[in-house]
Amino acid sequence: MKFLEQPPRFLFFTGKGGVGKTSIACATAIELASAGKRVLLVSTDPASNVGQVFGISIGNTIRQIPAVPGLWALEIDPQAAAQGYRDRIVGPVRGILPDAVVRSIEEQLSGACTTEIAAFDEFTALLTDTALTAGYDHIVFDTAPTGHTIRLLQLPGAWSGFLNEGKGDASCLGPLAGLEKQRAQYKEAVDSLADPLRTRLILVARAQVSALREVARTHEELAKIGMWQQFLVVNGMLARTEAAVDPLAAAICSREEAALAAIPEALSLLPMDRVPLKPFNLVGLDALRLLLADTAPAKCIEYPDTAFDSPSLSTLVDAIAADKHGLVMLMGKGGVGKTTMAAAIAVALASRGFPVHLTTSDPAAHLAETLHGALENLTVSRIDPHAETETYRQHVLATKGAALDAPGRALLEEDLRSPCTEEIAVFQAFSRIIRESGTKFVVMDTAPTGHTLLLLDATGAYHREITRQLTEGTMRATTPMMRLQDETQTKVLLVTLAETTPVLEAAGLQSDLRRAGIEPWAWIINNSVAAAHPVSPLLRQRAHNELREIEAVAKHHAHRYAVVPLLKTEPVGVAHLRELFRSGAV
């Protein structure tokens, strides 16, 4: 593998969610440790599953991997980091300031911004604290999905001040003052990331047009902040030998070859490795050791033909349509096909004559490309974080900023440059769209799991603040969180794949939602090989592996579910999206 030749100290894996960053990062860490190096594997993803891949619990403290001499791992837990951050701020003033003031500080520190800045503190410490990491030859970072990672790397060096007046028009749900002292540490971290002698960035993608286009954007955005030392890994490529006897395998191979032939020019200049699709799930040490191996995997095990029948997507849409309006929110791990499923459901509802607003809060979504055309009764929008943030900034400057003197306005402008401003601006746009669902269908394609949970955390903080401010005479107010918690108004659909890690992550997301009082309405198992009835030996083995995961969803996780088959033709355009409603279609 080119990206493993003369590796520097820091290896940084990033890319669109669901492309296999975690598996490749874990396999790389094992490879380096097997060569006699001392390696620390770090996950900065809020939805980390490194522990699941190794089959052990890791958590927020450095832990040695018992079966791999020389390998340690750490999952930066954003919630634990945020709690530690809150304790450092509140602890010194508890018992000194009035209880009401302390409670106010704690409430202001409950938002998503506190979580993000606290996790970033821990991340930068690993790049700059020589005492903490001196014992390791290599530090391998498994990062969050692209959009979150870009925002993480672009955090400013100082977070100054906050607005504690105005009942919700502040740029941040929590005070993040006092970080001026971190400026030097942040600068050192960014300098380290930009140094090719210390850091190598590995962009992980699939051989798909949209995935390669997304990773090209990532390449350009990271190059702008000085991270030029980049490699490309195209993961999960199906061998052409599988196509000889299987039309489905042949179609997949042709799609992948066409995508690589049309690779964006910026990526074509990068050193590139191709990792073949494996017949087994990438969970456990044996599987991880084979992922980057030059030797061919063991021969695929055949399994008997069995009748495969499961609920189709049409069944779910029939039940959704019966309500005649409402919010349909699709959530799940990045790369499982939320955008495609959202577009397909919106097309099905609009085709039945219902007015439908299809929208996304995902910075990396491609709704327009997926629809590839217009349809009567269907409107499409995207919550653009940059546009929403600028609109919000101008509103705050024109209202709260109008009465400030020059120093006060300068402080306000600095405050409005924090990423917290974007969270609140997107949240407000999100809330406006939720209100539309009272008269029409609103189908929302959300960002990958970690970012979505941050957004819902903002929703929850807003809900708590509004509830606290309500008096007995105004208790009829309805917050966005109340709408999300009401199944008669909102149907949350969890999208996953019939693979171990995506199902475990969807189950974890379901638990998180339940703690917030939101009950998922249904699960969608997307791109099922088993439902497509393959002939290729490798695909048949993968189909066999899927059956256990589909059974787990049906029996243990979902009240209702649907299985959507993998199609020979990529589901782009209205006609192909409608094919997803044909059970067993290929």
Which residues are identified as catalytic? 18, 20-23, 45, 501
Which H helix or E strand runs over 63? strand 63-64
Left, alpha or beta for 575 (phi > 0: left; psi -120 to 50: alpha)? alpha
Q: Are 155 and 117 in contact (CB under 8 A)?
A: yes
- Rounded Cα gap, residues 366 and 475, in angstroms: 40
Alpha-carbon distance values, 557 to 131, 327, 485, 561 (Å): 44, 22, 19, 9
Specify the 3-state DSSP secondary structure of 441: strand
Alpha-carbon distance values, 382 to 12, 379, 479 (Å): 30, 11, 22
Q: If we measure between CA atoms, which residue out of 505, 515, 486 comes closest to residue 557?
A: 505
Rg, the chain, Cα only = 24
Alpha-carbon distance values, 180 to 124, 193, 283, 318, 493 (Å): 15, 21, 42, 55, 42
Strand partners, 235: 206, 275
- Rounded Cα gap, residues 13 and 490, in angstroms: 36
Q: Are 493 and 341 in contact (CB under 8 A)?
A: yes
Give 94's DSSP letter: B
- Rounded Cα gap, residues 206 and 584, in angstroms: 24
The residue to which tokens 């401003």 are assigned: 421
